[in-house]
Amino acid sequence: EAGVVQSPRYKIIEKKQPVAFWCNPISGHNTLYWYRQNLGQGPELLIRYENEEAVDDSQLPKDRFSAERLKGVDSTLKIQPAELGDSAVYLCASSLELAGGNEQFFGPGTRLTVL
């Protein structure tokens, strides 16, 4: 079974430019997460989807970040315009939502560098 797929793996852009990340979750997983991980820190949840509905986007900086999960499968995360402080690894994870908690499977991440 294929794991969570993310692309690109690396992205270098200049500040004020737009950037987009793509995630394909594990087949059948209804819950999808986007995280940002800064160096030496734990993942920070940006947004969580249950199917196509964003059920938690309280940590998403909505002035410049947007996300979508059309048809409840693939998802894209966009930053426009990017700032220097956005440099981080952006992780996508998916899970099969079950009562009482469930394992999240992470993708390899996209390492974003904003110059």
Partner 1 sequence: GENVEQHPSTLSVQEGDSAVIKCTYSDSASNYFPWYKQELGKRPQLIIDIRSNVGEKKDQRIAVTLNKTAKHFSLHITETQPEDSAVYFCAATSYSSASKIIFGSGTRLSIRP
Q: Give the tokens for residue 74.
A: 């693939």
| 1, 2, 28, 42: which one binds partner 1 (CB under 8 A) | 42
Q: Cβ(75)–Cβ(69) under 8 Å?
A: yes
Residues near partner 1 (CB under 8 A), total: 25
Instruction: Show the CA angle centred on residue 91, arms to residues 18 and 77, nearest 5°.
Output: 35
Should residue 28 be labelled a site residue for partner 1 when binding is judged by CB under 8 A?
A: no
Cβ 19 to partner 1 shortest distance, Å? 20
Which residue, 6 or 19, has its beta carbon nearer to partner 1?
A: 6
Q: Cβ(55)–Cβ(67) under 8 Å?
A: no
Q: Give the tokens for residue 112.
A: 């974003």
Parallel, antiparallel or unpaired: strands 65-68 and 10-13: unpaired
Q: Which of residues 51-110 bind partner 1 (CB under 8 A)?
A: 55-56, 58, 91, 97, 99-109
Does residue 70 sit in helix, strand or coil? helix
Cβ 50 to partner 1 shortest distance, Å? 7
Residue numbers at the binding site for partner 1 (CB under 8 A): 33, 40-45, 48, 50, 55-56, 58, 91, 97, 99-109
